[in-house]
Amino acid sequence: MTTPQRTALAACNLCEAICGLELTIEDRPEGPKVVSIRGNAEDPLSRGHICPKGVALADVYDDPDRLRRPVKRVGDDWVEIGWDEALDLTADGLSRALNEHGRDAIGIYFGNPNAHSLGAQTHGSGMIRSLRTRNKFSASSVDQIPHQFVAWQLFGHQLMIPIADIDRTSYFLVFGANPMASNGSLMTTPDFPNRLRELKKRGGRMVVFDPRRTETAKVADEHHFVHPGTDAVVLLAMVHVLFEEGLTTPPSYVREIESVRLAVADFTPEYAAEASGVPADVIRRIARELAAADGAAVYGRMGLSTQGFGSICQWAIQCLNILTGNFDKEGGVLFTEPAIDIVGKGIIGRGHFDIWRSRVRQAPEFGGELPVSTLREEIETPGDGQIRAMLTVAGNPVLSTPDGKRLGDAFDGLDFMAAVDIYLNETTRHADVVLPPTTALERDQYDLVFHTFAVRNTARFTPAVFEKPEGALDDWEIFREIALRTAARLDRKKPLRKAVTERARLSVSPRTLVTGLLLAGRRTTMRALRATPAGVDLGPLRPTMPGRLQTRDKLIHLAPDQVIADLPRLRESIATPAGDELLLIGRRHQSDNNSWMHNSVRLTRGKPRHQLLMHPDDLEARGLIDGTSVRVASRVGTVTTEVRATDDMMPGVVSLPHGYGHQQDGVRMANASKVAGVSINDLTDPERLDVSGNAALNGVPVTVVPV
C-alpha cells in the first residue's frame, strides 16, 4: 500500500535568495515526512529556482542531532528539561548579572538566521531592548556594516541600500562577490545563473574583480585579479577617471561633488595599478564603459565589506553609480518599494554612529551595536561594565568571528550563558542552557528583510507547513518569555501596569503584526497573500528619487566626513610593503551554509572542499606539494590543513572557507568526523577593523610552511 502524498508550499530561509519551494509530503503513521523538495515555478521572484541547500531544508527538520527540547548542562552532560525550567533558569542567570553588576553585565550576540525568521524580526529587538545592555553584538559586524554605514551617511537610512537592477542592466560590474555560489547578498537574486544568461542574451556584460577566479568569475565576460584589500584604490581611480575625462552626469539633488573630485585627485589609475595589480588601462576603460553603458550597475559584497577599507569601497561604489548617472535608473541601481517598507515607515531606525563606545578598546557603536571583534575583551577584562552573562541567539561566533576559538574559551569564564539555538555546536556547547525554537517548516514566514533588498518588488506570506509539535515554542515566544521573566526578577521592578502592557505587546503574533503592516503599506493585503501563496508580483524596481531619500534636506551629500577621514589610512596601508607573506581570503561554496548545515549528510558528501587553495607558483616557492599538510600561521593563531594547488588563485593569495573546523568535543553532530577542515577564524584578527567597526576578515597576512 502506498502512503498518500500531498504538496505544500514553503519558503527557503537558508540564504538571501528566499526561494519559494514546493514540498511533497507523506503523512506516515510516525509523523509527516518530506519526500521531495523542488523550486516553485509560480514564485514571481525565484521562478522555480532551488539549490542543493534548499533540497536539504528537510534535513534540518528530520535531523536527529537537532534539539527539540531545552537542555541544561549538568557537569559534562546535557539533560533535557521542560520549558518552564529552562526559561526560569535563563531569567535567573540574566537577572542576577543585571542586579549584581549593572545593565551592561549582559552581552548579547544575534546571528545570521535571525534575519531569516519573521519572529526574530518582529520580537527580537523588543527582547534586546528589555535587557537594556549596551553590550550588543551581531553577525552584522563580520558582514555588512560598511553598507549600512555608507547608506546612513549618503541616503539617511542604514538600510537604504541601492539594488543592482540585474534584470535590465547592460553592464554589471562586480567586486568581491560570488553570486554563482551565494545567490546574491544585499541583492536578493534567486536564480542568478539564469538572470545572468538573460543579461548576456540582451547583449549585456558582466565584469568581475576578485583575487580568486571564482564560479562567478568563470562565467563573466571579463575577470581581473586584484590584490586583497586594495579595491578601494581601484574604485577611487575609476572615480578619478570620470572627473579627469568629464564623464560625470550626477542628478541635481547631489551635493559636494567638488569635494569628491578633490578627494580622489591623487588616486590615479597608475597609482592604483601599482597597489592592486589591475592595469591602469583596464581601470580607465572600465570607467569609460560605465559612463557610456545604457544602464550599468556597480556592486560589491563580502570581499569588499569585510576588508580593512570596506566603507571606502562601498562609498566609492555609490560614487561610481551616482556620478555616471546610473543611480535611481532602470538598468542601474534602484531602491526597492517593498509591501512592508521597514525603511520609509521607520520600523527600523535610521542608524547612528559613535554615540557610545566599547569599554575596553573604545570602538564606536554603529546602529546600537558594538563590533563583535571586541566581544572577547569585554568578557575578559575586569571592571565596571564587564560582561558576566551572555545570551546568543541563532549564532555561532566561535566559528564565525575573528579569533573565534579564544572567544569560546572566554565564554567558559562567564557566570552564566544561555543560547537560543537548534543545535549543540562550537558556541552553544559553552552555554548553561540551550533553548531550541521551532524551525522554518514549523513557523509562518514573511520576509521583512530580504524583500527590502530584492531585485524585484514582490510579497509572499508562507504559513507554517507543519503544526508546531506539542510543547514547542516559536522564537518570538521564547523572546517574550525571556524578556518578561527577566524583567520580573529585576531589583527595581517595573510597575505592574507596564508589565501587563509589555506582555500584551510581546504577545501579538508575527502574523497579526504582518497583517497590520501590510494594511498600513497599502500595496497588498494578507487576504491577497493568502489567496496567492506563491507570492504577489509588485513589479520591477522603479525610480523613487529624491522623494524616498531619508536625509533631512532630501539631498545626497556625496563626501561624508567619516569616510573621507579614512583616506589617509588607506594611502598609508598601500605604502606598506607586504613582505613575503601571503594574504588569506575566505570563500563560500554552493553546498555550505555558513557554519551550520554540515549535519546534513547530503550536503557533505562528495569531494572534500575545506582545503587551503594556493597558486602552484606559491607552492613551489615554499617547497610544498599539492595535497599535503601545511601549517598556516597569522598574528593570531596557527592551523594545520591540506593545501590544494590551483591557478584559480591570484599568486600571493590563499583561500580557506569559513564555517569549518567543527569541534567534536561537546558538539552534537553525528557527521562531525566526516567534515574535515579548520576554522579560518582561528587565523583572522580581531584587531583588523574597518572604520565602521566591521571586521577585516579578508586580506589577513599569513605564512604557510610544510608540516
400 is an interface residue for ligand MGD by CB under 6 A: yes
DSSP code for 10 = E
Residue 601 DSSP SS3? helix
Q: What is the phi-psi region of residue 445: left when phi exceeds 0, alpha when psi lies from -120 to 50, beta otherwise?
A: beta
Of 88-96, 283-291, 500-508, 594-602, which part binds ligand MGD (CB under 6 A)?
594-602
Determine which residue in the list 95, 185, 324, 336 makes contact with ligand MGD, applying CB under 6 A. 185
Cβ proximity to ligand MGD: between 423 and 524 the closer is 423
Contacts for 353 with CB less than 8 Å, ≥ 6 apart: 149, 152, 364, 365, 366, 367, 562, 692
Contacts for 532 with CB less than 8 Å, ≥ 6 apart: none
At position 141, the amino acid (one-letter code) is S
Cβ proximity to ligand SF4: between 192 and 660 the closer is 192
How far is 654 from 132, CA to CA, in rounded Å? Answer: 42
Helix or strand run (H / E) with residue 98: helix 83-101
226 is an interface residue for ligand MGD by CB under 6 A: yes
Each residue 263-302 as x (binds ligand MGD by CB under 6 A) or -, in order, gives --------------------------------------xx
Rounded to a whole number of angstroms, the minimum distance from the CB of residue 638 to Mo ion is 26
Residue 460 DSSP SS3? coil
Cβ proximity to ligand SF4: between 51 and 669 the closer is 51
Q: Are 182 and 174 in contact (CB under 8 A)?
A: no
Which residue is at the shortest CB distance from ligand MGD?
Answer: 303
Contacts for 54 with CB less than 8 Å, ≥ 6 apart: 12, 14, 19, 21, 37, 39
Residue 120 DSSP SS3? helix
Contacts for 561 with CB less than 8 Å, ≥ 6 apart: none
From the list Mo ion, ligand MGD, ligand SF4, none, pick the one residue 124 interacts with, judged by a Cβ distance below 5 to 8 Å according to partner type: none
592 is an interface residue for Mo ion by CB under 5 A: no
Rounded to a whole number of angstroms, the minimum distance from the CB of residue 616 to ligand SF4 is 33
> What is the number of other CB atoms lying within 10 angstroms of the CB of residue 343?
23
148 is an interface residue for ligand MGD by CB under 6 A: no
- Burial tier of 280 (Cβ tally within 10 Å: 0-12, 13-18, 19+): middle
From the list ligand SF4, ligand MGD, Mo ion, none, pick the one residue 584 interacts with, judged by a Cβ distance below 5 to 8 Å according to partner type: none
143 is an interface residue for Mo ion by CB under 5 A: yes
Cβ proximity to Mo ion: between 327 and 450 the closer is 450
Rounded to a whole number of angstroms, the minimum distance from the CB of residue 14 to ligand SF4 is 4
Rounded to a whole number of angstroms, the minimum distance from the CB of residue 136 to Mo ion is 18
Q: Does the CA dihedral 593-598-604-610 come out positive or negative?
A: positive
How far is 312 from 272, CA to CA, in rounded Å? Answer: 14
Determine which residue in the list 212, 376, 405, 429 makes contact with ligand MGD, applying CB under 6 A. 212
Q: Are 521 and 347 in contact (CB under 8 A)?
A: no
Rounded to a whole number of angstroms, the minimum distance from the CB of residue 689 to Mo ion is 17
Q: Are 275 and 573 in contact (CB under 8 A)?
A: no
Q: Are 15 and 182 in contact (CB under 8 A)?
A: yes
How far is 206 from 164, CA to CA, in rounded Å? Answer: 12
Q: Are 464 and 443 in contact (CB under 8 A)?
A: yes
Q: Which residues from 103-142 bind ligand MGD, rule CB under 6 A?
A: 111-113, 117, 139, 142
Q: Which residues from 488-547 bind ligand MGD, rule CB under 6 A?
A: none
Q: Which residues from 46-75 bind ligand MGD, rule CB under 6 A?
A: 53
Rounded to a whole number of angstroms, the minimum distance from the CB of residue 152 to Mo ion is 19
Rounded to a whole number of angstroms, the minimum distance from the CB of residue 428 to ligand MGD is 6
Determine which residue in the list 95, 149, 698, 704 makes contact with ligand MGD, applying CB under 6 A. 698
Task: Point out which residues bind ligand SF4 (CB under 6 A).
Answer: 12, 14-15, 17-19, 49-51, 53-54, 183, 190
Determine which residue in the list 40, 141, 594, 692 makes contact with ligand MGD, applying CB under 6 A. 594
Question: How big is the site for ligand MGD, counted in residues (CB under 6 A)?
Answer: 64
Q: Any idea how long the chain is?
A: 707
Rounded to a whole number of angstroms, the minimum distance from the CB of residue 697 to ligand MGD is 4
Rounded to a whole number of angstroms, the minimum distance from the CB of residue 130 to ligand MGD is 18
Determine which residue in the list 299, 411, 446, 596 makes contact with ligand MGD, applying CB under 6 A. 596
Cβ proximity to ligand SF4: between 54 and 146 the closer is 54
Q: Which residues from 299-338 bind ligand MGD, rule CB under 6 A?
A: 301-303, 307
CA angle (199 as vertex; 197, 203 as ends), nearest 5: 110
How far is 604 from 598, CA to CA, in rounded Å? Answer: 6
* 118-131 helix and 496-507 helix, angle to the nearest 10 degrees: 160
Q: Which residues from 436-465 bind ligand MGD, rule CB under 6 A?
A: 437, 439
Determine which residue in the list 72, 136, 658, 688 makes contact with ligand MGD, applying CB under 6 A. 658
Which ranges in 277-349 belong to alpha helices (H)? 280-292, 302-305, 310-323
- What does the block give as the cell for 104? 551592561
From the list ligand MGD, Mo ion, ligand SF4, none, pick the one residue 50 interacts with, judged by a Cβ distance below 5 to 8 Å according to partner type: ligand SF4
Residues that bind Mo ion (CB under 5 A): 143
Residues that bind ligand MGD (CB under 6 A): 15-16, 53, 111-113, 117, 139, 142-143, 175-179, 181-183, 185, 209-212, 214, 226, 228-229, 231, 301-303, 307, 393-397, 400, 420-423, 425, 437, 439, 475, 585-588, 590, 592-596, 658-659, 680-681, 684, 697-699
